[in-house]
Amino acid sequence: MRKFFTSLSLADIGNTNAKIWRDGKLEIVSLSDFSAEKIREQIFYISVNPKFAKVLNSLQNWIDIESFAEIDTNYKTLGADRKLAIFGLENGILIDMGSAVTIDIMKNGKHLGGYILFGKSYLIQSFKEKIPHLNFGKNQLSDEVVPQNSEDALLSGFYHQLVSFLRDLEKKHKLKLFFTGGDSLDMLQYFPKAKFNKNIIFENMIKIVEQNY
């Protein structure tokens, strides 16, 4: 029997953060500060984090809905967040720009495969650890300008390499681009026809919960 959810709690557990969604309000908690036991209400979740699997499985109010996002794919180890992001997408290239950048290609309802790239925050953090004297710039350059210092060289390298790659994928597969994830906004200037939906994973989770519970 289908319930009407007056209140809905959702969680997307990643490798860096736990994102908790309560009726349209999003809370992002670093995994090191996150304890699943503290959430007492019924909460529907997906997780790409194997470390949390045992804890979450043992909690009765935590309900894993990954299996409802059935994707027609030959891809092994497609993360739950990627499944939820492309759930229901017939045609398009979905780019999730979080701490990693994942790219998934959907054609006629079939998942053709995808790519995983380093995200901006990973890059910044890793460069800081490995080359402490090199800084990441703050200003994103136009792709007409060749960077004139190492800070810009890093940031421009990140953005314009991705722009080139996405343009090639767009052309090759003749598909529209769909962006989600925090670092997407900077990309939209290069792809004015692309769609951006910050909450696509949670919106698809809500669909699944409403259809199945």
Is residue 39 near a copy of itself by the rule CB under 8 A? Answer: no
Taking CB under 8 A as the criterion, the residue among 45, 87, 158, 179 binding a copy of itself is 158
The angle at the Cα of 27, spanning 24 to 28, to the nearest 5 degrees, equals 135
C-alpha distances out from residue 169 to 4, 80, 91, 116, 189, Å: 41, 23, 13, 14, 17
DSSP-assigned beta bridge partners for residue 13: 18, 47
Taking CB under 8 A as the criterion, the residue among 75, 190, 196, 213 binding a copy of itself is 75
Is residue 71 near a copy of itself by the rule CB under 8 A? Answer: no
Is residue 47 near a copy of itself by the rule CB under 8 A? Answer: no
Catalytic: 72? no
Is residue 34 near a copy of itself by the rule CB under 8 A? Answer: no
DSSP-derived 3-state class of residue 197: coil
Can you tell me the distance from the alpha carbon of 2 to that of 175, in angstroms, rounded to the nearest whole number?
Answer: 36
Is residue 86 near a copy of itself by the rule CB under 8 A? Answer: no
**CB 186 to a copy of itself: min, Å:** 16
Question: In sequence order, what are the residues at sequence separation of 6 or more whose Cβ sits closer than 8 angstroms to the Cβ of residue 96?
Answer: 81, 82, 85, 102, 104, 179, 180, 181
Kindly tell me which of 57 and 164 has the beta carbon lying closer to a copy of itself.
164
Can you tell me the distance from the alpha carbon of 91 to that of 69, in angstroms, rounded to the nearest whole number?
Answer: 16
Taking CB under 8 A as the criterion, the residue among 10, 103, 175, 205 binding a copy of itself is 103
C-beta separation of 12 from 201 below 8 A: yes
Is residue 154 near a copy of itself by the rule CB under 8 A? Answer: yes
Q: What is the CA radius of gyration of the chain?
A: 19
Is residue 157 near a copy of itself by the rule CB under 8 A? Answer: yes
Residues forming contacts to a copy of itself in the complex (CB under 8 A) are 15, 50, 74-79, 99-100, 102-103, 105, 112-118, 122-123, 126-127, 130-131, 133-134, 145-150, 153-154, 156-158, 160-162, 164-165, 167-168
Catalytic positions, written as ranges? 81
